[in-house]
Chain A
């Protein structure tokens, strides 16, 4: 447990020592800010619906960019060998890195809270969906981070890790919008696989155990895959 916190804090600091954090956060804020506020006054409603609607798609691009370096960089420069010969276990490393990515997502989401505060001045804001939305964003962020982490553990090339991670996240985001491609019998299963639906449920303020279970499963599968990829390297 102590090792996890050490790895977490090291990885989290690394984001802010290098320019990655600042670049990713600014791009994220620019994109979400523009798409949210460009139509906000047309709708004339005091809520963050639009912001949270778009979030899964933005996350599908941004989060793999956050996670791509976590293993690829270590494999590329060889520090992976130093890491694994220190007294740490695979789960320590994997969970530490995942939490660092999730903390980074949280840091990225933090400035957007000012949208909510601003809107609260403009009209009567229902805080339920806002809190749900941020909670959902954190869970969605954890799920996508786990996928990105898995992609990163597959290759020593960060660009490939980014593309693999993005492809998987993109599919999860959009799969329930492409249901007409699939046979009728599979529709139930496939619509359950889509991350967007589960996230939108939570961001409406409905925290359902099924949605939480979905995100936890994605995190678990991502981490399990990462663990397998690490073992494979032995």
Chain B
């Protein structure tokens, strides 16, 4: 559906995006993650045809952004960061104008606008000027702007920034619903959001792709140590340390203060990509210890993100 080929963008001497290639299939919800200034917005702007890449090409379906930008723009609905809409216009007038530009027939226009008003919850603000709306409401109008032409591809730059928690949930719900039929590309720096909405995640840092895959594959492939937490009763620390240290793959054992003073809490760091739960359980079973808690800490996207994007 979308092919980003070796795209590079320079702002004067600054290289914002460095030879990025992504292929996006129909129906994917792709999350573009990265720290500030990583090149997320620049990538999206090239994808939507706001400006051309310095080198490389973007193909959407069979069109190239260099040769056929208009055809691509027809296929894409775009919500730029912080929804920069015309301040002086009424919300209704604005949506009406966008519908016209998007080539919606006069007969369908009102019903299409009404659909979006329901979907984005704009019912109460249609007669207000855009300038007097709060950031969250503006964001919703921007979302309606992006969706009004019923585009096959939706590109959203930080769609939930500035929204309250209820609205965030609503917008995510909308995105997931749209994602069933359409291709959605969104950028965000909120990791839980990417985890909740996207089925594929691309992490970029300093203009380069550092990770690409579903949340699960990312977690598996990010060679990180896993940690197992145990709480034991009827045991003593020195004994635990000697016994558990004998298991292959245990890198370190560390005690921690639990809520219950009678219990001994320990954290076992395991080697890369190893699941030691079975071995540890068997070891514990041989003893008189009473196992109160047993938990493997899975690495969240956050850890992976920090690992991949931290400054050297």
Q: How far is the CB of A84 from chain B (nearest CB, A)?
A: 5
A111 interface residue per 8 A CB criterion: no
CB of B50 within 8 A of CB of A85, answer yes
Partner of B73, one of A7, A10, A85, A234: A85
CB of A84 within 8 A of CB of B49, answer yes
B256 interface residue per 8 A CB criterion: no
| B50-89 interface code vs A (CB 8 A; 1 in, 0 out) | 1110000000000000000010011010101010111111
Alpha-carbon distance A79/B84, docked complex (angstroms): 5
B45 interface residue per 8 A CB criterion: yes
CB of A234 within 8 A of CB of B102, answer no
**Range of interface residues on chain B?**
20 to 34
Number of A-B contacts (CB under 8 A): 59
Contacting residues, chain B, for A18 (C-beta < 8 A): 88
Q: From B145, which residue of chain A is reached at the shortest CB distance? A: A82
Alpha-carbon distance A234/B6, docked complex (angstroms): 19
Contacting residues, chain B, for A14 (C-beta < 8 A): 86, 88-89
Residues of A within 8 A of B (CB): 2-3, 6-7, 10, 13-14, 17-18, 77-79, 81-82, 84-89, 233-234
Q: How far is the CB of B156 from chain A (nearest CB, A)?
A: 12
Alpha-carbon distance A3/B100, docked complex (angstroms): 8
Contacting residues, chain B, for A79 (C-beta < 8 A): 84-86
Alpha-carbon distance A78/B87, docked complex (angstroms): 11
Given contacts A79-B86, A89-B70, contact A10 B97 (CB under 8 A): yes
CB of A87 within 8 A of CB of B73, answer yes
Q: From B84, which residue of chain A is reached at the shortest CB distance? A: A78
CB of B49 within 8 A of CB of A82, answer no
Alpha-carbon distance A2/B73, docked complex (angstroms): 16
Chain B stretch 82-137: residues in CB contact (< 8 A) with chain A: 82, 84-89, 93, 97-98, 100-103
